[in-house]
Amino acid sequence: MKINEIMRSLETLAPLSFQESYDNAGLITGNAGWDCSGVMITLDATEAVINEAISKKCNLVIAHHPIVFKGMKKITGKNYVERTIITAIKNDVAIYAIHTNLDNVLQGVNKMIADKIGLKNTQVLQPKEAMLKKLITFVPLDQAAKVRDALFAAGAGNIGKYSECSYNTEGEGTFKPGELAKPFVGEIGKRQEEKELKIELIFPAYLEEKLIRAMNDSHPYEEVAYDILPLGNYLSEVGSGLVGVLENELDEVALMHLLKEKFGLQLIRHTAFTGKKVKKIALCGGAGIFLLNAAKAGGADVYITADVKYHEFFDAEGTILLADIGHYESEQFTTDLLFDYLTQNYPNFAVLKTALNTNPVQYFL
């Protein structure tokens, strides 16, 4: 199996276009055309993890966090990032990062956290903007169903929990084939009037090329007329954080004990208890303080995240319980998510999880 086949599978789960602008998800070292000898899954692609992958004959390391975030002008081995890159390149190990694109899908990193807590009716806390487009095309009446079905199969027409959504308007199109044309209907040099169906569908922006291919392959016309329009609508299944409800409300102390148990926590940094029962919980794995206002606006009783700075705890303002459970701790089950996904898709292929704990934070109790 080629590395690029595994990459395509991962990008079906979490398209690269869903990553944030500052991120560096995707293939970082190696060649997508290499044969893959085995996969090692980790939260962090450290030098020790690369060596572990080498020892277990895995030439693809899939990490949640990209080892390279910023531009690098020199690679001399002076720090852990450069040493990791050098080790990977010298040993023909590909490193692939699946970071904020996996954070931003409904079934991604945050869903793992929500499932551990037992949240129900989960939805994206802050959906991403400008992720949707509309395709409009014009098809002869008798061929319209074929084209529409091809567009549905390619991923167009999904709105929330509904699929195969389209709007169709019957009208009349005109065209005059030129001398070199090979018209599906009509004659060279004569204007043709044709009953057509105007088909309108929305789609996630990352599917644009796929949809154009599906439309052209299924459309009877030699030259296909179509429009693609950007939309301001939210894509409700894609975005930052998650919010859901507990089946049974808890008091705040009981919630803290639940978090310690489910995530193996030694401590939790949090604001003062509000004295309210906990029912609705918002969360974001990793550094997610930027979503605090969204959690408050959404009526959450608690916001769970990581990497909260001292002064940022004040921003809870006593209206919500803010809990910092640690960056590594909040995202630790991402390796399970990726392992389960890949083993389900490739049951006869070597997929391993690192045996190393890559958390750089230690606690002295």
Q: What is the pLDDT of residues 219-250, one digit of tens each?
A: 999 999 999 999 998 888 899 999 999 999 99
349 CB neighbour count, 10 Å cutoff = 15
E strands in the chain: 26-29, 39-44, 60-65, 94-97, 119-128, 132-140, 167-175, 192-204, 226-230, 235-250, 269-270, 278-287, 302-306, 321-324, 351-353
- State the Cα–Cα distance between residues 61 and 274, nearest whole angstrom: 43
Residue 349 has pLDDT above 90, yes or no: yes
Whole-model pTM: value is 0.90
Q: Report how far apart, in Å, the C-alpha atoms of 345 and of each of 207, 339, 341, 349 are.
A: 21, 10, 6, 9
Percent of the chain with pLDDT over 90: 95
Assess contact for 242 and 123: CB atoms under 8 A.
yes
Please give the mean pLDDT across all residues of the chain: 96
Would you state the structure tokens that stand for residue 154, as one six-digit string? 């390619």
What is the per-residue pLDDT for 234? 86
Average pLDDT over residues 138-160: 96
Percent of the chain with pLDDT over 70: 100
> What is the SS3 assignment for 293?
helix
Q: How confident is the model at residue 5 (pLDDT cuts 50, 70, 90)?
A: very high
> What is the SS3 assignment for 64?
strand
Average pLDDT over residues 33-48: 98
Q: Which has the closest alpha carbon to 65: 86, 75, 80? A: 80
Residue 160 has pLDDT above 90, yes or no: no
- State the Cα–Cα distance between residues 21 and 118, nearest whole angstrom: 31
